Structure 1
């Protein structure tokens, strides 16, 4: 288990107001977890709910934080990641303002610059969303 640095937003290319993770709380060679508190001023909050797009972006940014953390520890150049595909997306509920989300990604397969992940977003013990993603990473 890695102990991540405190400045998690520095691990991802997204900047305010489009940051959808607060803390990288765990990362190893097979998985990573982040937390995120939904704030009222978040650009993906509408009528007090964090929307489906926000949940998907939260999963993607969890994958990005993992890649950023690995690059930081291996002193590699920054990389840019792109979502290539989203598969089997299921949304079971939408979080409300001030809900704390915990998101986990599991690496299903990695071939060259393509990583296949399974991600899920939880509020406490309740799964709010899950999907599989194909993420392309390009080293700069």
Structure 2
């Protein structure tokens, strides 16, 4: 399948992740390869995780998890297969330097460290204007 980046189509993105509104926390897929995925989110003034025009910690963590889900899901999308449902298995070394505010755009990159038997371990970096706002290591698990 021939695709070009960035992908902003809600139709394509929703085929790659199990979440549905109001919990969709990715709105662009910037890049994808076997070892890495980059996704983004524009912070709006409305939403489940917005308080005082600021995306709260659970929303930022959910954005990280959905970025990882995009890696798995987009791989399935390219093969014209249905993306599986996955879960956060663990979060380690989470560091939030600051929270994003309304009007900002998060650019998140997840680098695959290990992938085996439906378990994926990744390093995640969230940035706004090339400034790191959060980092974490996350393990996700595909539902059986």
Tell me the TM-score range normalised by the shorter chain. over 0.9
Q: Which residue of 2 aligns with 1:99?
A: 104
Q: Which residue of 2 aligns with 1:3?
A: 4
Paired residues for 1:2-41 under 5 Å: 3=4, 5=7, 6=9, 7-41=12-46
Question: Which structure 1 residue ranges, 4+ long, deviate > 6 Å from structure 2?
Answer: none
TM-fit CA distance, 1:90? 0.2
TM-fit CA distance, 1:62? 0.6
Spell out, residue by residue over 1:89-133, the C-alpha distance to the aligned partner (whole angstroms, 9 max, x if none).
000001100101101100001111100011111101111111001
RMSD of aligned Cα (Å): 1.4
1:79 aligned counterpart, secondary structure:
coil
Contact preservation (8 Å) 1:3, 1:26 = no
Q: Which residue of 2 aligns with 1:134?
A: 139
TM-fit CA distance, 1:65? 1.2
Contact preservation (8 Å) 2:89, 2:140 = yes
Query: Is 2:113 aligned against 1:108?
Result: yes
Query: Is 2:43 aligned against 1:62?
Result: no
**What TM-score, normalized by structure 2, do the two folds share?**
0.90
Residue 91 (structure 2) aligned to one of 75, 86, 90 = 86
Q: Which residue of 2 aligns with 1:49?
A: 54
TM-fit CA distance, 1:138? 2.7
Cα distance between partner residues in 2 of 1:82 and 1:3:
28
How many pairs were matched up? 138
Q: Which residue of 1 aligns with 2:124?
A: 119
